Amino acid sequence: MQPLRSPYNPIHIPLGLVLWSIWFVALYGGLSVGCALAPPDPAQGQWTWLNGLLALFSLLTMVAMLGLAWLFQRAARDQREGQPARFVARLSAGVNLIGAIATVFVALPTLSLPPCL
Amino acid sequence: MTTPSNEQVAAQEQLHDQFNDVWGNPRGWKSLTIVNHTTVGIRFMLTGLGFFLFGGLLAMLVRTQLAIPGYDFLEPDVYNQVFTMHGTVMMFLFAVPMMEGLAVYLIPKMLGARDLVFPRLSALGYWCYLFGGLILCASLLLGIAPKAGWFMYTPLSSAVHTPGPNSDFWLIGITFVEISAVSAGVELVVSILRTRAEGMSLNKMPIYAWYILVMAMMIVVGFPPLILGSILLELERAVGLPFFEVARGGDPILWQHLFWLFGHPEVYIIFLPAAGIVSTLLPVFCQRPLVGYRWVVLAILTTGFISFGLWVHHMFTVGIPQLAQAFFSAASMLVAIPTGIQVFAWIATLWVGRPLYHVPMLWLVGFLVIFVCGGLTGVMLALVPFDWQVHDTHFVVAHMHYVLVGGMFFPLLAGIYYWLPHFSGRMPSVRLGKWGFWLVFIGFNLTFLIMHWTGLMGMPRRIYTYQSGLGWDLPNLISSIGSFIMAIGIATVLLDIVLHFRFGQKATKNPWNADTLEWSTHLPPSPYNFVSLPPVRTRHPLWEVPDLEERIDRGEFALTVIDHGRRETWGIEPLTGKVREIIHLPGNSWWPFIASLFIAFTCLGLLSKFYWVALVASIVAVLVLLRWSWENGAHPLAAPDARVQPGEPPLHSRTCDGPGLWGMGVTLLANGALYLALLFGWFYLWTVSPNWLVPDDPVIDQRLLLASAVLLSVVVLWQRPVLRRLRQGQGEPAALITCFVGTALLGALHAGLLLWAILAGDLAPRATAHDAVIVVMLVYSLAHGALATILSALQALRVHYGYVCKRTPYEPLVVEQFWQYSLAVMWITYCSVVLFPPTFGGV
């Protein structure tokens, strides 16, 4: 069995989408808690501290996933590794890339809608 | 290929006889003890068929009632019971168990294994499914069936608005059935990861196994929120703990969250294995590999995850902020993309292959047409304004049936026609098969295509009748006629299947020229699947090694010695498929049947409100399960002869990484999902409950809780070095007994302190949702502490008997995971109940 930190460990296959799931729950939970504790003035539209925080958090998550995708893709190109290991790395890279795309797509409404209406 | 001599044939038959002695199925009453995956899988499917016919009959009643306006064929109350039971039966008693049953039957055969990794768990799952389903269906015959819709929304399903046992049947019956779903989920995950053929690395795994792996993981994570919701709602109905009642600090929307946290992934739990059938069959009928294997794997994984981010799209009309709705709307549109990738992979496979239109292919093409339409209306419903317009109308009913019947039923029938020769050794009738398909296809579209328009004209769902003159008369009549045509089609298919057992032509070997290993077994298969376990070097073993079946049958490959009396299969390294150990599997047993029987008594006791009966039955059930666990690992009944052949790896019970470790891990994942759902409920109510009541003073002695958590930490820290030494092949029995007895005593003290904290506190769980949630969290921790204590005490006893020692270190490592989980839960509970409230305006 590959060590846990190895990019060829199959445990990493779902990593990108696990991160996406945690981000998604945090996004929805953060919005709900923000609206419950300190709801921004509706007159501000989408340009509120809460939207900004959620958008920034999403941006950081996306960058982290893109970084992971790059790391896994680099590992997948290593010809010294066997086919199964490279398959796992390539799959992990793809999952991270999809996670990044999904993060951007789902977070886009933070730029266009007020948070608590 | 040379013809075998008489001596070779005799030796081959003798080998098969030896295997039958160990693996054979008993008859008569003793057939209740069978645990073999082939039999259990077939039982799941036959029982699923029975429930399907029952659910279908209910659909016919619904359509008869709605055929003409003002019809009084069914009383309103009966109608409510009928449509609720139709949805419930089809979702919980047909769709999921049917797909699991097919997977239970196929997965070991496709992976080149002799059985699933926990066969007795499969049997337990089946009996829980059967008994739970029967209890649920019996309620309709008694006229006291659930009647609040298949998603049991509160407050309609609460004791105030639905008094009587109706909702209780749903909550208790479904929870009972879900034991089956989750146990099959755990079983399938571990089997796919750990018991494949030698050399079957992840990239060579049949695509169906990928689908089932993701489906099983989704069950493991997706079902627990509903189990929790059902327990909470039943506690509210039976004992008065107000989780969903606004006046006492609860919130009915919490039920919707918990239900749909399960309910939306459920759609994909049903769809993914069906898509797996499509991805398996299309390449066979095109006689070329699936286009884009890696893309499809990526799409399966993506679908599995993103489907968990859609649950709120069922709740767009409950008053959630627009921005939150937009998140879920976006995720709902996003999930169409991985599905689209699969559809394009299928079209590309058809494009580059030379499709042969046998009967299974008709069902596949029907699936593609209907499912794509259902997917498109799904994207429409993901748009919030459109959803507001058609919410709770027949449009949603039509969409749901397009997705579920198109996405699950059509591929299922394709699969049944495809694997029918495998089940019976005979071929079905082409003529009857085609008649069946066309009748179902036409009838289905007549029913549900029209229903889209009925919905767009504003007809709400769940009304038992309607006035004439609203424009709904003709479309309803057409839908009803269509549904009867569909029923005739299904009857034709059933007739074909029944007749083929007697009149069908005998199937040739591998009749469709398929590529996967299940076609290298006998038709129908023997209980051990393969007399010798072949290595796999390719994704398409039967296309590349056409004489594989003969070679397996001749015993040319591995694990052909069986005079030790063990049932065996390979345990492999998950990534590469390298053989690591021999997994010895348990044989037939009464324990699963008896355990499920007592769980059924528990349910009946709860339903009839004879709580003492329920308590006694549940204690007996736990005792039976513990007795069952005794025959495990190095127990002589589990491995009568522990010797292996020269050059073979050790038995799994003599290693530190047997399948039980993985099984416990995956089970704890399900358990953790349940606990996270409970935590979500706690924080959700704190944040948005409209009438959340916080006490002025602490309701529990925080020092007792802290002491209890510290004791639990000591247990885990004490065990760690002892078990590390055990892993390294050290550790004398006396030291092990001291450790396990000591940890059991400390564990008992921990549980005692926790119980004291609960009993001595000022908790008023019937007065406020706040206290009710705290009670559930503490009882959850208490149950874990108590169970861990019993398990450690049993370990001490097993060391005493010699079942656990440095040569057989397997079991304490499994129990250690449970202790660690209990510790994590205890501290999270402490932080949530004691440390969090002061930061949020509480005490």
Measured distance between the N- and C-terminal CA atoms of chain B, rounded to whole angstroms: 81
* CA distance to partner chain B, nearest, from residue A80 (Å): 15
Per-residue model confidence as pLDDT tens digits over B623-673: 999 999 999 888 988 887 788 888 899 999 999 999 999 999 999 999 999
Q: Using only C-alpha atoms, what is the Rg of chain A?
A: 18
Residue A39 contacts B where some CB pair is shorter than 8 Å: no
Mean pLDDT score of chain B: 95
Q: Where are the alpha helices (DSSP H) in B696-732?
A: 702-727
Q: How confident is the model at residue B731 (pLDDT cuts 50, 70, 90)?
A: confident
Residue A7 contacts B where some CB pair is shorter than 8 Å: no
Q: Reply yes or no on whether the pLDDT at B1 is more than 60.
A: no
Closest residue in A to B690 (Cα) is A36
Per the CB < 8 A criterion, the answer to whether B126 and B44 are in contact is yes
pLDDT of residue A2: 78
* Both tokens assigned to B764: 């008023």
Measured CA to CA, the distance from residue B647 to residue B645 in angstroms comes to 6
Measured CA to CA, the distance from residue B530 to residue B519 in angstroms comes to 11
**Phi, psi torsion values for B783, nearest 5 degrees:** -60, -40
Handedness of CA B278, B279, B281, B285 (dihedral sign): positive
Q: Reply yes or no on whether the pLDDT at B740 is more than 60.
A: yes
pLDDT of residue B839: 87
pLDDT of residue B108: 98
Residue A49 neighbours by CB distance under 10 Å: 12
Q: Which fold has domain B693-843?
A: Four Helix Bundle (Hemerythrin (Met), subunit A) (1.20.120)
Q: Which residues of A touch B202 (CB under 8 A)?
A: 10, 84, 87-88
Per-residue model confidence as pLDDT tens digits over B370-394: 999 999 999 999 999 999 999 999 9
Measured CA to CA, the distance from residue B387 to residue B45 in angstroms comes to 36
State the amino acid at position A18 in one-letter form: V
Nearby residues of B90 by Cβ (< 8 Å), 6 or more positions away = B52, B55, B404
Q: Which residues of A touch B326 (CB under 8 A)?
A: 109, 113
Residue A22 contacts B where some CB pair is shorter than 8 Å: no
Residue A8 contacts B where some CB pair is shorter than 8 Å: yes
Measured CA to CA, the distance from residue B433 to residue B438 in angstroms comes to 9
Look at A110 and B330 and tell me if their CB atoms are within 8 Å: no
- Where b means 16+ CB within 10 Å and e means fewer, B123-147 reads bbbbbbbbbbbebbbebbeeebbbb
Per-residue model confidence as pLDDT tens digits over B149-207: 999 999 999 999 999 999 999 999 999 999 999 999 999 999 999 999 999 999 999 99
* Both tokens assigned to B659: 């399948």
Measured CA to CA, the distance from residue B64 to residue B439 in angstroms comes to 19
Candidates A8, A105, A115; nearest CB to B321: A115
pLDDT of residue B172: 97
Q: What average pLDDT does the segment B570-586 reach?
A: 96
Residue B321 contacts A where some CB pair is shorter than 8 Å: yes
* CA distance to partner chain B, nearest, from residue A101 (Å): 10
pLDDT of residue B402: 97
Tracing tokens 């049917």 back to the chain, one arrives at B98
Per-residue model confidence as pLDDT tens digits over B548-566: 999 999 999 999 999 999 9
Between residues 195 and 234 of chain B, which touch chain A (CB distance below 8 Å)? 201-204
Residue A114 contacts B where some CB pair is shorter than 8 Å: yes
Q: Which of B114, B227, B334 is nearest to B675 (CA)?
A: B227
Measured CA to CA, the distance from residue A26 to residue A35 in angstroms comes to 14
* Contacts across the A-B interface (CB distance below 8 Å): 105
Look at B324 and A90 and tell me if their CB atoms are within 8 Å: no
**Phi, psi torsion values for B805, nearest 5 degrees:** -160, -170
How far, in Å, are A9, B441, B516, B529, B644 from residue A84 at the CA level? Answer: 10, 42, 19, 27, 29
Helices B769-801 & B659-688 angle (0-180, nearest 10): 170
Q: Using only C-alpha atoms, what is the Rg of chain B?
A: 27
Report if pTM > 0.90. Answer: yes
Of the residues B198, B311, B575, the best mutation for testing chain A's interface (the one with the most A CB atoms within 10 Å of its CB) is: B575
Per the CB < 8 A criterion, the answer to whether A110 and A58 are in contact is yes
pLDDT of residue B87: 97
Per the CB < 8 A criterion, the answer to whether A49 and A113 are in contact is no
pLDDT of residue B843: 76
Provide the 8-state DSSP code for B92: I
Residue B95, CA atoms < 13 Å, CB-side half-sphere:
28
Q: What average pLDDT does the segment B735-749 reach?
A: 97
Per the CB < 8 A criterion, the answer to whether B407 and B371 are in contact is yes
Q: Reply yes or no on whether the pLDDT at B2 is more than 90.
A: no
* CA distance to partner chain B, nearest, from residue A67 (Å): 19
Q: What average pLDDT does the segment B450-465 reach?
A: 96
Q: How confident is the model at residue B244 (pLDDT cuts 50, 70, 90)?
A: very high
Q: Which residues of B touch A8 (CB under 8 A)?
A: 575
Measured CA to CA, the distance from residue B670 to residue B219 in angstroms comes to 8
Measured CA to CA, the distance from residue B626 to residue B639 in angstroms comes to 18
Q: Reply yes or no on whether the pLDDT at B310 is more than 60.
A: yes
Measured CA to CA, the distance from residue B530 to residue B577 in angstroms comes to 18
CB burial of residue B790 (10 Å; 0-12, 13-18, 19+): middle
Per the CB < 8 A criterion, the answer to whether B816 and B719 are in contact is yes
Q: Reply yes or no on whether the pLDDT at B74 is more than 70.
A: yes
Q: Which residues of B touch A1 (CB under 8 A)?
A: 573-575
Cα dihedral value B201, B202, B208, B209, nearest 10: 90
* CA distance to partner chain B, nearest, from residue A81 (Å): 12
Residue A75 contacts B where some CB pair is shorter than 8 Å: no
Tracing tokens 């768990």 back to the chain, one arrives at B121
